[in-house]
């Protein structure tokens, strides 16, 4: 099983990383076809998608997991990072397939196979890797704060940046997802607040589920002989006072 995950992690990293690059190339070609010259602005928009950020992080985490697996070691901070990225990827899959799957995009703007890897197969593999892959020490519940920290920062960044931008393709401010754009709903920011709270709840629940899996015997990800003697914390505990 351990040897199999060496291969699976290589394939997973190549597939997810390739999907990000493939979509970037497709987007660059689409912008050129539309006669758009504000490429730096478009690249920032591209990198502002939670999906893209999660999949780039997933690629990096899988490569790092390969290194730790080959070295037969594990670090507490990496376990928290891996758990966080797993939660983000699973949330990406849930939100896309429930809210965004049937939204029509401009013809040529999306690479079909890449879209499926980024929103379906990538999240599914990260979950499988967390369930069955080597290197999954027991985590403390307070690590949930570390998991939800990045999505909070991303949401603040997105909502602050949106009104400060102008996208000629949309003739309005740029938001990476339509449900975050207050101009798309008669309820304005009330509608945005609803979706932000809903997605925050999903991320919190998924993050709690990821931690719960680490504390159970379900699909035990490491051999008992390699299990750490104490739970992994989100950050080191302060030394006792002398």
State whether the Cα torsion 152-60-71-222 is positive or negative. positive
Tokens of 38: 């504000």
Yes or no: say if 228 and 138 are a contact pair by the CB < 8 Å rule: yes
Instruction: Tell whether the model's pLDDT for residue 120 goes beyond 70.
Output: yes
102-117 pLDDT, tens digit each:
876 665 689 999 999 9
User: In which residue are the tokens 């197969």 written?
Assistant: 121
**HEC profile of 104-139:** CCCCCCCCHHHHHHHHHHHHHHHHHHHHHCCCCCCE
154-173 pLDDT, tens digit each:
999 999 999 999 988 888 99
Instruction: Tell whether the model's pLDDT for residue 142 goes beyond 80.
Output: yes
4, 146, 19, 165 alpha-carbon torsion, rounded to 10° = 180
91: left (phi over 0), alpha (psi -120 to 50) or beta: alpha
Give the pLDDT score at 235. 53
Instruction: Tell whether the model's pLDDT for residue 125 goes beyond 90.
Output: yes
The arithmetic mean of pLDDT across residues 214-224, rounded, is: 66
pLDDT-derived band at 227, boundaries 50, 70, 90: very low
Q: Identify the three-state secondary structure at position 142.
A: coil
The arithmetic mean of pLDDT across residues 22-44, rounded, is: 94
The arithmetic mean of pLDDT across residues 43-66, rounded, is: 97
2-27 pLDDT, tens digit each:
788 899 999 999 999 999 999 999 99
> Average pLDDT, whole number, for the chain?
89
Give the pLDDT score at 111. 94
Residue predicted with more confidence, 225 or 49: 49
Yes or no: say if 103 and 178 are a contact pair by the CB < 8 Å rule: yes
Give the pLDDT score at 226. 44
55, 206, 72, 234 alpha-carbon torsion, rounded to 10° = 100
Tokens of 186: 């008669």
Residues 6+ apart with CB under 8 A from 120: 93, 97
Q: Identify the three-state secondary structure at position 169.
A: coil
DSSP 222: S
């Amino acid at each position: 099983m351990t040897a199999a995950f060496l291969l699976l992690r290589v394939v997973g990293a190549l597939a997810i990383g390739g999907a990000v690059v493939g979509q970037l190339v497709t987007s660059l070609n689409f912008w050129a076809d539309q006669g758009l010259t504000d490429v730096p602005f478009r690249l920032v928009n591209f990198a502002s998608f939670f999906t893209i950020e999660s999949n780039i992080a997933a690629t990096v985490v899988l490569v790092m997991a390969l290194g730790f697996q080959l070295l037969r070691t594990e670090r507490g901070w990496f376990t928290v990072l891996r758990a966080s990225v797993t939660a983000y990827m699973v949330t990406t899959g849930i939100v896309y397939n429930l809210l965004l799957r049937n939204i029509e995009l401009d013809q040529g703007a999306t690479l079909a196979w890449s879209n499926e890897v980024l929103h379906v197969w990538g999240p599914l593999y990260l979950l499988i890797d967390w369930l069955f892959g080597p290197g999954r020490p027991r985590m403390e519940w307070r690590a949930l704060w570390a998991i939800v920290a990045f999505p909070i920062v991303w949401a603040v960044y997105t909502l602050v940046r949106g009104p400060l931008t102008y996208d000629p393709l949309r003739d309005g401010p740029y938001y990476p997802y339509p449900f975050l754009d207050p101009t798309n709903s008669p309820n304005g920011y009330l509608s945005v607040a609803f979706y932000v709270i809903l997605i925050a709840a999903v991320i919190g629940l998924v993050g709690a589920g990821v931690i719960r899996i680490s504390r159970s015997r379900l699909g035990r990800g490491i051999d008992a002989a390699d299990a750490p003697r104490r739970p992994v914390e989100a950050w080191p505990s302060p030394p006792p006072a002398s």
